[in-house]
Amino acid sequence: MGPNTGSPIGDIAYLARSEHRVSTLVALADRPRSRSELRELVGVSSSTIRRTLSEFEDRNWIRKSGRQFEATPVGAYIASGMAGLIERVENERRLRDVWHWLPVETGDLRIDLFADAVVTVAEATDPYRPVNRFVSLLEATDRFRLLGSDLALFEPCRELFCRRVVDGMEAEIIDPPYVSKHVLSTYPDHFSKTMGSGNLTVWVHDEVPGYGLTLFDDRVSITGYTPDSGAIRVLVDTDAPEVREWAETTYAAYRRSARSLDALNVDIDADACCEVRLEHE
């Protein structure tokens, strides 16, 4: 059976069996190259590259022009498709164990939008990796908006967050009532300093999403939590325009239906409320 017979899966299998084959075809789709240049580029022996080029010629994927080889239009078409498939699989491998924490499951976002995202996963030896990534983003922004159950981020970042807000960072938070109550009762000093600066606005919402969403100056981050413990498992951040558009729309929708923090005063410890009120007077 010749190379031009059989099923398309056979050609895909041929290309996939050795990593250098796709690299060779992609390189020739980029521009003409000599056999020796290809051998050095993909790191195989002379006999291997000779056999590969012969197989490609038999499939009409390439043609020889003088001492160089170049991709035919059909070869360039195959090269583009295989490169796209490899890129898609590479992206899937990065998100394979974390995608279910992202809003892609509901169809709000496509996985391909995260092709250039930074994916930071908590590990047994370094459970604070996502938090540390969040800290680096927090340190570099002048505007900060957060939606979600943010206690797992606030606890280790509270000193930095307080300092950034007091120093002028514009911040807005939409979180569930129990989070605001916890922060107000547990960290009254931090709360009064940040609120007293005039740079922080806090809203409450009874039905925040199951993920955390933060909008920084240039990037958007999505945080995935373990449902039972609330521990941060992954933080994915990106500057993709489509993700930014989705984040702005999502945040605005929750902001429209959120309530002022003042609405919780009747339910919060009286001493804590009094302290905050005195700070503003």
**Does residue 34 carry a pLDDT above 90?**
yes
Short-list 49, 75, 50, CA closest to 62: 75
Q: What is the pLDDT of residue 4?
A: 57
Compute how many other C-beta atoms are within 10 angstroms of the C-beta atom of residue 215: 20
**CA-CA distance, 281 to 139, in Å (whole number)?**
30
pLDDT digits (tens, 9 = 90+) for 41-68: 999 999 999 999 999 999 999 999 999 9
Instruction: Provide φ and ψ at 79, rounded to 5°.
Output: -60, -45
Mean of pLDDT values over 70-82: 95
Compute how many other C-beta atoms are within 10 angstroms of the C-beta atom of residue 56: 23
Mean of pLDDT values over 119-128: 89
Mean of pLDDT values over 90-109: 74
Query: For residue 259, what are its two tokens?
Result: 């309530």
Q: What is the pLDDT of residue 274?
A: 36
Mean of pLDDT values over 226-232: 75
Query: For residue 199, what are its two tokens?
Result: 């740079």
Mean pLDDT, the chain, integer: 86
**Does residue 106 carry a pLDDT above 80?**
no
Q: What is the pLDDT of residue 263?
A: 64
Short-list 185, 246, 193, CA closest to 220: 246
The percentage of residues in the chain with a pLDDT greater than 90, rounded to a whole number, is: 55
**CA-CA distance, 235 to 35, in Å (whole number)?**
45
Query: For residue 86, what are its two tokens?
Result: 């490899």
Q: Which domains are present in the chain?
A: 8-92 (1.10.10.10), 101-280 (3.30.870.10)
The percentage of residues in the chain with a pLDDT greater than 70, rounded to a whole number, is: 89
Q: What is the pLDDT of residue 161?
A: 93
**CA-CA distance, 243 to 114, in Å (whole number)?**
8
**Does residue 281 carry a pLDDT above 50?**
no
More confident residue, 1 or 229: 229
List of E strands, 79-194: 118-121, 143-147, 170-175
Q: Which amino acid is at 144?
A: F
Query: For residue 281, what are its two tokens?
Result: 């007077």
**CA-CA distance, 246 to 51, in Å (whole number)?**
49
pLDDT digits (tens, 9 = 90+) for 13-28: 999 999 899 999 999 9
Q: What is the pLDDT of residue 28?
A: 96
More confident residue, 226 or 118: 118
* C-alpha dist (Å) from residue 153 to 135, 161, 241: 9, 10, 25
More confident residue, 280 or 56: 56
pLDDT digits (tens, 9 = 90+) for 182-227: 888 888 888 889 999 999 999 999 999 988 999 999 999 999 887 6
Confidence of residue 3 (pLDDT cuts 50, 70, 90): low
Give the length of the chain. 281
The β-bridge relationship of strands 170-175 and 143-147 is: parallel
Query: Alpha-carbon torsion 199, 202, 248, 107, what sign?
Result: positive
**CA-CA distance, 12 to 63, in Å (whole number)?**
20
Q: What is the pLDDT of residue 105?
A: 59
**Does residue 265 carry a pLDDT above 80?**
no
pLDDT digits (tens, 9 = 90+) for 141-156: 999 999 988 777 888 8
